[in-house]
Structure 1
């Protein structure tokens, strides 16, 4: 059956000489793996740019039940990035987001509200006025809520985890900071010292690993720390 959907590219693997297997989180069909033939060619006809991580695409796909690898009939760029590919800080955040998304969802997992949030997050990252220092933290706390394990109050984020690395003064400061981020999102003017912000990021990643049962370190985290944290 042929279906239309929007998608967020998560990863691709080389397959044979010129093809790839690409994982795309689609709005209507969920996380799917697609075999794309003949894209790893040189010249103007190459469409590899469409299948870079976190690219937003509009798709026409063949969707068959009980089939692992699906096929794409048509793929078009949905949103051309103006800043993410050309700004090292934004690129590092994009790689971080891609890895977090990939570890949080599974094949055929479908969640339209989560997709809409991810699409909004990616386009926000490409905007000039976004606060990059807060971005990974806002992304983690909001995404956890769409996945069903993120509380609505900052204090619960800080108390529900098995790991509790903060002092009482730090907890008070973080409670105010997180509540402001929950209300204001990616454009929040909230302020916090860099050391505590890095500590909070590590805490939230541990919070994720507790709920998703995945404790292996993120490969993108080291780059993110060097450029932003």
Structure 2
């Protein structure tokens, strides 16, 4: 089956001397892996290795067998040309962190249009803005909404955050109920926009605590999720 779809590059892996295996999150078919033969040596082909940098927004034409094997890309081109995402050091660090999170978090080979459009909007926003200190916090918080475990805010005045059940409550009921100033600050990110979240003032230590809490929250709700290896670099930059 031939498909034409927008796609987001999640990961790429060198395979043999000249081939690449790339993992794309497509708008029409969900998460798919593609084998690109000879792309690392080809300089004149329609498909170039440079197209598959992490989180690049593409338009692809591909052949899908839908048998769980590696698919084939017939054509690929840039959908949105980033101005800063792959050249600014801080943003590049965010790109590697986000791509690792998405590689661990998205598993379905089925379309999720709302998730795709959220990621597309978030990446373009990051590319176009300079004040981005809280971006990773609000990005992960909003991402939980599309993955199915956004915190229940109906009792948001409660002091404990029960990470196991994703609710706020007044008493601790299990080992994953936490409280403290980082829980209070985390509530500020619930229901806010990217623009408004950049106005939230956090100390370096507080930002680190909220991020650590969010990653534990992801681990609890996503089978096989692991903390990104790029986390240490991100903490050095933002903390």
Q: TM-score, normalised on structure 1?
A: 0.88
Query: What CA distance in whole angstroms lies between the structure 2 residues aligned with 1:86 and 1:59?
Result: 24
Match of 2:192?
183
Higher alpha-carbon deviation: 62-71 or 182-191: 182-191
Alpha-carbon shift at residue 16 of structure 1 (Å): 2.5
* Unaligned ranges ≥5, structure 2: 165-175
Structure whose residues are more often helix by fraction:
1
Match of 1:31?
31
Match of 1:223?
233
Query: What CA distance in whole angstroms lies between the structure 2 residues aligned with 1:158 and 1:14?
Result: 45
* Unaligned ranges ≥5, structure 1: none
Alpha-carbon shift at residue 65 of structure 1 (Å): 2.5
Match of 1:207?
217
Alpha-carbon shift at residue 108 of structure 1 (Å): 1.1
Query: What CA distance in whole angstroms lies between the structure 1 residues aligned with 2:67 and 2:135?
Result: 38
Residues 84 and 47 of structure 1, relative CA distance in 2, 3 Å threshold: same
State how 1:1-229 maps to structure 2 within 5 Å. Answer: 1-41=1-41, 43=43, 47-129=48-130, 131-151=131-151, 153=153, 155=156, 159-162=161-164, 163-167=176-180, 169-175=181-187, 177-179=188-190, 182-188=191-197, 189-214=199-224, 216-229=226-239
Instruction: Output one character per residue of 1:71-97: Cα deviation in whole Å (capped at 9) or x when no partner.
Output: 011100111111111111101111111
Q: TM-score, normalised on structure 2?
A: 0.85
Query: What CA distance in whole angstroms lies between the structure 2 residues aligned with 1:199 and 1:33?
Result: 34
| Paired residue total | 224
Higher alpha-carbon deviation: 66-75 or 146-155: 146-155
Two-structure CA RMSD over aligned residues (Å): 2.3
Q: Contact (CA 8 Å) 1:150, 1:157: kept in 2 or not?
A: no
